[in-house]
Chain A
Amino acid sequence: MIKIDQLTKSFVFKDDRLVAINNVSATIQDGEFLGIIGSSGAGKSTLLRCLSLIEKPDQGTIWLDDVDLFKLKGKDLIRMRRQLGIVFQGYHLLEQRTVFDNIAFPLRLTHMKEEEITQRVDSLIQLVGLSGKSSSYPSQLSGGQKQRVAIARALTSEPTLLLCDEPTSALDVVTTKAILDLLKEIHRKTNVTVIIITHELSVVKSACDRMIVMNEGQFVEDGKVIDIFASPSHPMTKLLLSYQEGVL
């Protein structure tokens, strides 16, 4: 269970203070498939950076089960990071390494035996549909294939939480659907908790069970996707929905 507890994060430039996340709280149960949606500048990526432990909040905290994530230091922090799977907005693959070595990378940071690594990586390559590509380099892959590598890499350490920042925003509709189907399949098979950050309502609609709408640093709507689509309450949600009409 993840508990986001009154989280606040602001950025200060000179005399100006910009509140990117403004006192947000939510509880996410194990095995949920949550979409966080909001327009540009809403604070989504900042929230994800807090969840992935690269940014510290000013106030509040995030609990993972009974661990206060921002109290972790040194070895404990590194161990916790290895338990999170993160798919980044820009893939961020190692350009000088093969698909196999990219996916194996998180495991090679630990003391895992090479046989075990090979076994796990091979099965992930299968899972994400990249059979035959294991010795290709990222520069030889399409955007969708790179995203598959990124997803496989995020799954190597068998995380309990998979965080995805705009996993499909650089992809065309067909590839987007394939990637979302893959994430759904992974979710079904492993029951990993998935949090997707997106600005596309269609992503939330086709993949998520629950959605949170973010606006100006706050959670303005939180509930089941079907319920919110049926009766949005916040003006921002209504606005987002109005743009989507006819598209889906």
Chain B
Amino acid sequence: MSDLLIKGLLDTLTIVFMSTLFSFIGGFPLGVLLVIWKKEGIAPWVIGEKILGSLVNVIRSIPFIILMIALFPITRLIVGRGYGVNASIVALVIGAIPFVARLVESALEEVDDGLIKAAITMGATPWQIVTKVYLIESIPSLIRSVSLTMITLVGYAAMAGAVGGGGLGDIAIRYGLHRYQTDIMLITIVMMVILVQLIQNIFHFLAVSLDRRRITN
């Protein structure tokens, strides 16, 4: 039984880490585009922003479990089958990219608009504004976005487990629910709670210790 749980935990960790990584690789640039393409942005392109914004909203409004099932054919195309750890990662990444895009967007929008204007008047190019102002100034918020994404993905990964996606969720359903092994159910829940707490605390610590504004008056 403990082998089973350790395997489940490792699968969950793999799913959560990999899907966080890939959803940031995909969602981060989109979040940046959502900010800079705005009418008042540094590289305005209103139509692009509208289209991207709508796309993000559409995907975000589909309940994850439905999205996951709807994505079966695509997942199968990418990883060869519709279930298991890799299949979960593909579905989670697609579901989380729009979520990450919005988180990154709101993190960057916290940056003082006056500072952006100031950087423009100092002769910063749009690329320099993104890399040297937006990204650096929003580091604490971006770290919090990573944390929030991971925590959300722990939950989504469990849902993916319910449709054969592997990990702790899968075990909880198969053993806990279908075979009435309440102890397994409880242990998986406790493991997920601890996992979420760990993620929360580690990233909170990181965000606070990297924030240079903490010594405020």
Contacts and interface: CB of A to CB of B under 8 A. Distances in A.
B121 interface: yes
Nearest to B124: A109
Interface stretch (B29-37, B46-54, B100-108, B128-136): B128-136
A105 B132 contact: yes
A140 to B, nearest CB: 5
Given A96-B139, A139-B214, A139-B216, A109 B128 contact: yes
Interface stretch (B87-95, B110-118, B144-152): B110-118
Interface of B: 112, 114-115, 117-125, 128, 132-133, 136-137, 139, 211-217
A100 B137 CA distance: 16
Given A92-B112, A92-B118, A94-B136, A106 B123 contact: yes
A82 B122 contact: yes
Contacts of A92: 112, 114-115, 117-118
B217 A139 contact: yes
Given A90-B114, A105-B132, A108-B132, A95 B212 contact: yes
A184 interface: no
Interface in A55-77: none
Nearest to A106: B122
Nearest to B111: A95
A139 B140 CA distance: 15
Given A105-B132, A109-B122, A109-B124, A140 B215 contact: yes
Contacts of A82: 122-123
Nearest to A110: B123
Contacts of A53: 121
Chain A interface SS verdict (over half): loop
A217 B130 CA distance: 35
Nearest to A53: B121
A76 B119 CA distance: 16
A173 interface: no
Contacts of B112: 90, 92
Nearest to B128: A109
B54 to A, nearest CB: 27
B146 to A, nearest CB: 17
A52 B121 CA distance: 7
* In the complex, the 9 A-B pairs of residues with the closest C-beta atoms, listed nearest first: A82-B123, A81-B123, A92-B118, A137-B212, A106-B122, A92-B115, A92-B114, A139-B213, A78-B123
B133 to A, nearest CB: 7
A78 B120 CA distance: 8
B137 A96 contact: yes
Nearest to A150: B118
Given A81-B122, A105-B122, A109-B123, A139 B115 contact: no
A134 to B, nearest CB: 14
Given A54-B117, A78-B123, A157-B123, 14 more contacts: A52-B121, A82-B123, A86-B121, A90-B114, A92-B112, A94-B115, A95-B212, A96-B137, A96-B211, A106-B122, A137-B215, A139-B213, A139-B214, A140-B215
B121 A81 contact: yes
B136 A97 contact: yes
